[in-house]
Homo-oligomer: A and B are copies of this chain.
Amino acid sequence: MVRLTVQRQAILDLINRSNQHWDAEELARCLGENGEQLGIATVYRGLAALENAGLIQSIQLADKKRYERADKGHHDHLVCIKCGDIEEFCDNKIESRQQQVAQDRSFQMTGHQLLIFGVCQSCSNDSRESETP
């Protein structure tokens, strides 16, 4: 039986209070700065427990996992390759096509992850400014 300890509550609160996509180390640092110092292993275990319980959700990037609130429901992500910014989107047609693909192959889908990589609007504005015309 999994427990919602004060440490896990602190992690959950921090994630729920923001719209960021946190990695474990950022969370530990931010909690520490707010007087809630947790061992890094506790953070990792807490995140896994909270995700299992459906209280938070995560995306797996190339280097690390990032966690966000679950109360916004499922969505996919646009990841800026310049600044690392993460935007969210949800497209029902994509979702339903995925189901179809899985069904066609007798594949019992349990989840999916769609990442779109590219340059976000703000970064492409920046690079336009610095061009020599």
CB within 8 Å of B: which residues of A? 60, 62, 65, 78, 80-81, 87, 89, 91, 93-94, 97-98, 101-102, 105-121, 124
Residues on B with C-beta less than 8 A from A111 are 116-118
How many copies the complex holds: the figure is 2
C-alpha spacing A108/B119, complex, angstroms: 5
Residues on B with C-beta less than 8 A from A78 are 101-102, 105, 107
A124 touches which one: B89, B93, B108, B124 (CB < 8 A)?
B108
| B98 A94 Cβ-Cβ under 8 A | yes
C-alpha spacing A60/B62, complex, angstroms: 6
User: Please, could you name 9 A-B residue pairs with CB atoms under 8 Å apart, sorted by A?
Assistant: A78-B101, A94-B97, A94-B98, A97-B97, A102-B118, A107-B116, A107-B121, A109-B117, A111-B118
Asked, given contacts A97-B91, A121-B105, A121-B107, whether A115 binds B113 with beta carbons under 8 Å apart, the answer is yes
